[in-house]
Amino acid sequence: MDTLAPTITSAIILSLIISITQPTTNMNHTKIKLMMMFIISLIPLSPMLSNKELTMTSTPMILTPTENINISMTLDLLSLTFMPIALFITWSVLEFSIWYMDSDPNINKFIKYLLIFLIAMLIIITANNMYQLFIGWEAVGIMSFLLIGWWYNRPDANTAALQAIIYNRIGDIGLIMTTVWLMTTSSMNIQEAMISYKATTIPMLGLLAAATGKSAQFTLHPWLPSAMEGPTPVSALLHSSTMVVAGVFLLIRFNPMLQNKTIMTMCLVLGATTTLFAAASATTHFDIKKIIALSTTSQLGLMMTMVGLNQPSLAFLHMITHSFFKALLFLCSGSFIHNLNNEQDVRDMGGLLKTAPMTASFLTTASLSLMGMPFLSGFYSKDTIIEVMMNSHTNSWTLTITLIATILSASYSTRMILFTLTEYPRTKNKPHKETKTIINPLIRLTIMSIMAGTLTKLTTLQNTSLTTMPKMIKLMALVATLVGMTLSNDLFLFTKHLSPKKSKTLSIFFNQMAFFNMLHRFIPMITLKHSQQTFTELIDLWTLESWGPKGLSLTLKPMIHLTTHQKNMMKNYMTTFMISLTLAITILTA
For helices 396-421 and 288-308, angle between their N-to-C axes, nearest 10 degrees: 160
- Which DSSP state fits 369? H
* 129 backbone dihedrals φ, ψ, rounded to 5°: -140, 160
Query: Which residues are paired to 69 by β-bridges?
Result: 62
CB 416 within 8 A of CB 298: no
d(CA 519, CA 524): 9
SS3 43: coil
Contact 151, 193 (CB under 8 A): no
- Asked whether the beta carbons of 276 and 343 are under 8 A apart, the reply is no
Type of residue numbered 552: L
Q: The whole model's pTM is what?
A: 0.87
Q: How far apart are CA 240 and CA 244, in angstroms?
A: 8
Domain boundaries, the chain: 3-498, 500-547
Helices 396-421, 261-282: axis angle to 10 degrees equals 30
Q: Which of 74, 81, 75 has the alpha carbon at shortest distance from 46?
A: 81
Contacts of 6 (CB under 8 A, 6+ apart): 54, 56, 73, 75
pLDDT in tens, the chain (590 residues): 567 778 888 888 888 888 888 877 778 888 999 999 999 988 888 766 666 788 888 888 888 777 778 888 898 888 988 999 999 999 999 999 999 988 888 899 999 999 999 999 999 999 999 999 999 999 999 999 999 999 889 999 999 999 999 999 999 999 999 999 988 888 888 888 888 777 788 889 999 999 999 998 988 888 998 899 899 999 999 988 888 999 999 999 999 888 888 999 999 999 999 999 999 999 988 899 999 999 999 999 999 999 999 999 899 999 999 999 999 999 999 999 888 888 888 888 888 888 888 999 999 999 999 998 988 999 989 988 998 888 888 778 888 899 999 999 999 999 999 999 888 888 777 777 777 888 999 999 999 999 998 888 766 666 665 667 888 888 888 999 999 999 999 988 888 777 777 777 777 788 777 777 777 777 888 888 888 887 777 777 677 677 777 777 777 766 666 665 656 677 888 888 899 999 999 988 86
The dihedral through the CA atoms of 38, 44, 50, 56 has a sign that is negative
Residue of 377, 379, 408 whose CA lies nearest to 474: 379
